[in-house]
Structure 1
Amino acid sequence: MNSILLFISGPEIMVVMLIVVMVFGADKIPEIARGLGKGMRQVKDATNDIKREIKESSEKQGIDTDITKDIKKEIGEVKDNLDDLTGPIKRQM
């Protein structure tokens, strides 16, 4: 949702808010916002539960979950090496 807001300017947000107030009324907006907040919290909790269950089941089966950390470390080292290599080239241009 954050990526959507990046392409909306201030006046466009005001127009959307005006339409929301006209459609739902000013007294219903806090109730709608509360419901959206609860829904987002439930989705976040469910996602965290799924991640926790996957991690626990992989640990029980002896699967190494640190593989992704090793891969990210290797990618970072390659990136640093490329930056060291291309640094002088970029400065010359």
Structure 2
Amino acid sequence: MNTTFLFIGGPEIFIILLIVVMFFGADKLPEIARGLGKGMRQIKDATNDIKREINESAQEHGLDTNIVQDINKEVNDVKDNIDDLTGPIKRNR
């Protein structure tokens, strides 16, 4: 099984890390990682703030914000009904 992250495989990640260590030095690596972690946390917090503001605004205007949950519930109900109809017959994947 080949693991990829953002279309980058293991060997590519190793080469990138090697270049980073050569360019910045091993002593700067923890500082860089800390900065990246802090930046990712700020992005996540900003995204959560935007989601919260959108939900609050939608609720103020009387819009239904649970539409995704409603769709998931309907899809799960249909899956359950299909499972009840097929019984022991299952598809092989």
Deviation at 1:82, TM superposition (A): 2.3
The count of residues paired between Structure 1 and Structure 2 equals 89
Give TM-score scaled by structure 1 length.
Answer: 0.76
Match of 1:47 in 2: 47
User: After superposition, what is the alpha-carbon deviation per residue over 1:3-37, rounded to whole angstroms, capped at 9, x for unaligned?
Assistant: 5179634xx25444333211210111011101101
Cα 1:87–1:21 change in 2 (3 A) is farther
Closer/same/farther in 2, CA of residues 3 and 73 from structure 1, 3 Å limit? farther
Give the TM-score normalised by the residue count of structure 2.
0.76
Q: Which runs of 5+ in 1 are unaligned?
A: none
Alpha-carbon distance between aligned partners in 2 of 1:3 and 1:72, rounded to the nearest angstrom: 28
Distance 1:85 1:3 in 2: 38
Residues 35-90 of structure 1 show CA distances to partners (whole Å, capped at 9, x for unaligned) of: 10111011001100000000000010011212221111001111222233345332
Alignment partner of 1:4 is 2:5: yes
The structure with the largest helix share of the pair is: 1
* Structure 2 CA distance for aligned equivalents of residues 83 and 45 of structure 1: 40
Match of residue 24 from structure 1: 24
Q: Percent identity?
A: 67
The unaligned stretches of length 5 or more in structure 2 are none
CA RMSD of aligned residues (A): 2.7
Letter in 2 for 1:29: L
Q: Identify the residue that residue 37 of structure 1 maps to in structure 2.
A: 37
Three-state SS of the structure 2 residue aligned to 1:83 is: helix
**Displaced runs of 4+ in structure 1, greater than 6 A?**
none
